[in-house]
Amino acid sequence: MTNIDVAGLVLRVRRSCDLSQRELADVVGLSQSQVARVESGSRSVDVMTFEKMLSLAGMRIVVVDADDVEAEPVSSDAVRDHAGRRLPAHLDVRPPFDPPRAALVDGYRQRPTPKAWYHHRVQRDRRRGELGLGPGDDQPTRGEIAQIERDLLATRLEAARRQAPARLDDDCTCLPVCWEHAGCAPSCACRCES
């Protein structure tokens, strides 16, 4: 593991931008003496201030994994519970349409259906072993779950169209909601059910 040479990088920023310690200090909200201590290595600087300094010279902080591939943060669009909290990051999150067996047996006791499911460690480890999964899979985002649901709906619609009479294949313009329920929806103009 290598340490970041913050002092050298701050000096590189000043050289690239042709700034004095006082000018850099004014821009990032430090005193000239604080910048001098950062450059001498006797003072640390918080990440936000360091990032602000680097951005002045068109530089940025990058986190890479063991293979030198840039690591992406977990998406801010990751699925959250009904209270808006993130689901446990150390557990594998499953989409709402893939509930664990316990939820199918016990039901969900008159509460709103969760936005996602997860297993506790023992069940998570057993499931990972059965499916050959590792910890590298990210938690799904709301957009990814919505896309999976659209794909599942399209698959169901295609299967329904294949099973429907030939007349429907050519003439039917039913809405997707019609294929999810028995018969045409009130807003459907096709009215092929009659």
User: Which ranges constitute the DSSP H helices of 75-184?
Assistant: 101-106, 121-131, 142-163, 166-171, 176-180
Its domain, for residue 168, covers: 142-180
Higher pLDDT, 87 or 21: 21
- Which pLDDT score, from 0 to 100, does residue 19 have? 95
- Is residue 172 within 8 Å of residue 190, measured between CB atoms? yes
pLDDT of residue 182 exceeding 80: no
Backbone angles phi, psi at 137, to 5 degrees: -70, 130
Asked whether residue 78 is domain-assigned, the answer is no
- Is residue 80 within 8 Å of residue 86, measured between CB atoms? yes
Asked whether residue 162 is domain-assigned, the answer is yes
Q: Select, from the ranges 87-101, 109-123, 128-142, 143-157, the one with the highest average predicted confidence (pLDDT).
A: 143-157
Q: Which helix (H) or strand (E) holds 132?
A: none
Please tell me the total count of domains within the chain: 2
25-37 burial string, b = 16+ CB within 10 Å, else e? beebebeeebbeb
Q: Which helix (H) or strand (E) holds 106?
A: helix 101-106
Asked whether residue 50 is domain-assigned, the answer is yes
Angle at CA 116, nearest 5°, toward 113 and 122? Answer: 115
Asked whether residue 157 is domain-assigned, the answer is yes
Asked whether residue 32 is domain-assigned, the answer is yes
**Average pLDDT of 135-152?**
79
pLDDT of residue 167 exceeding 50: no
Read off the CATH number of the domain in which 21 is found.
1.10.260.40
Asked whether residue 131 is domain-assigned, the answer is no
pLDDT of residue 176 exceeding 70: no
Could you give the percent of the chain with pLDDT greater than 90? 28
Nearest to 41 by CA among 7, 10, 4: 7
pLDDT in tens, 4-33: 899 999 999 999 999 999 999 999 999 999
pTM: 0.52
Higher pLDDT, 122 or 186: 122
- Which pLDDT score, from 0 to 100, does residue 162 have? 72
99 in helix, strand or coil? coil
- Which pLDDT score, from 0 to 100, does residue 101 have? 72
Axis-axis angle for helices 6-17, 32-40 (nearest 10): 130
User: Sorting pLDDT into bands at 50, 70 and 90, what band is 109?
Assistant: low
What's the mean per-residue pLDDT of the chain? 80
Strands 93-94, 117-118: pairing is: antiparallel
